[in-house]
Amino acid sequence: MPEVRASTSGVLAEEEPEKEYTNRSQNDRFSVNSTTETGILKIYYNNCNGLQPGELLKANVKEKINKKKKAYVTESIQYTKVRGISGAMKMLDANVMCLSETQTAWENNGIREAILKEFRRGDKYTTITGSTSNTTSYSVVKPGGTAIISDGDWSNKTIKRGQDPSGMGRWSFITIEGKKHSRIMIICGYRCCKGQTINTVGPLTSYAQQYYMLKNKGTKKPNPQKQFIKDIKKFITEAMLSSHEIYYV
């Protein structure tokens, strides 16, 4: 079983200082900082507050136009949040990047492939496991959602990947198999903000999506926040009974 280092990163968004957690003692934590050391699975998490998929598509179009005009390199390369996160992942030497509130319609093949292409600029074997609700979207943007981005080394060790089985897109997960068939499940979840009600949110928010999906299933008084806790506990319990070691972010 590899050592697992998980952290929330302030590099991607200025929300909180970086924290690192490791199962090694404080005295020898410094010995695992080398980016070349093997046997360490580095997991980072960030609430990206939207991957801005529309901006990525616009940037791609601009680059194609500039390329035809033979513009300077600095003019042809457009910054986008996706590229910023991809660069941060490389800088942090992260094996797995967990993102919540991606606000991306992952069911849209075009935008999913466009985002994956950006991450594969540095590692062609990178994989993305996204989650989004089954609610129909006529845009590449959809509130809520999560994503787990794995580099090539750990993607090869991933034996299963998926998302919230309810169809509400509240979490994504991957299962990594190590030596002697040991298994690690990494879950990235996004829970609706505390204090929200159907009367205080917009019609397209993740809260509204989940509220009406629960109501359509027969729930008399839907409460997406409480339902999330109930469902994720059940999901994790079932995974633990299957001898999985769980890392939830």
The pLDDT value given to residue 122: 86
Quick one: pLDDT at residue 181? 83
Which of the pair, 80 or 207, is modelled with greater confidence? 207
Q: What is the pLDDT of residues 146-167, one digit of tens each?
A: 999 999 999 999 999 999 999 9
Q: Tell whether the model's pLDDT for residue 77 goes beyond 70.
A: no
Model confidence over 10-51: pLDDT tens digits? 444 333 333 333 333 333 222 223 333 457 889 999 999 999
Range in 75-79, 176-180, 209-213, 243-247 with the lowest mean pLDDT: 75-79
Residue 169 phi, psi (nearest 5): 70, 30
Provide the mean pLDDT of the chain.
83
Three-state secondary structure readout of the chain: CCEEEEEECCCCCCCCCCEEECCCCHHHHHHHCCCCCCCEEEEEEEECCCCCHHHHHHHHHHHHHHHHHCCCHHHHCCCCHHHHHHHHHHHCCCCEEEEECCCCCCCCHHHHHHHHHHHCCCCCCCEEEEECCCCCCCCCCCCCCEEEEECHHHHCCEEEEEECCCCCCCEEEEEEECHHHCEEEEEEECCCCCCCCCCCCCCCCHHHHHHHHHHHCCCCCCCHHHHHHHHHHHHHHHHHHCCEEEEEC
Q: What is the pLDDT of residue 38?
A: 55
Q: Average pLDDT of 93-118?
A: 95
Taking 80 as the threshold, does the pLDDT of residue 247 lie above it?
Answer: yes
**Which segment of 12-16, 55-59, 114-118 scores lowest on mean pLDDT?**
12-16
- pTM, entire model: 0.82
88 token code pair: 């941060």
Looking at residues 210-225, what average pLDDT do you find?
96
- Comparing 58-72, 88-102, 157-171, the range with the smallest average pLDDT is 58-72
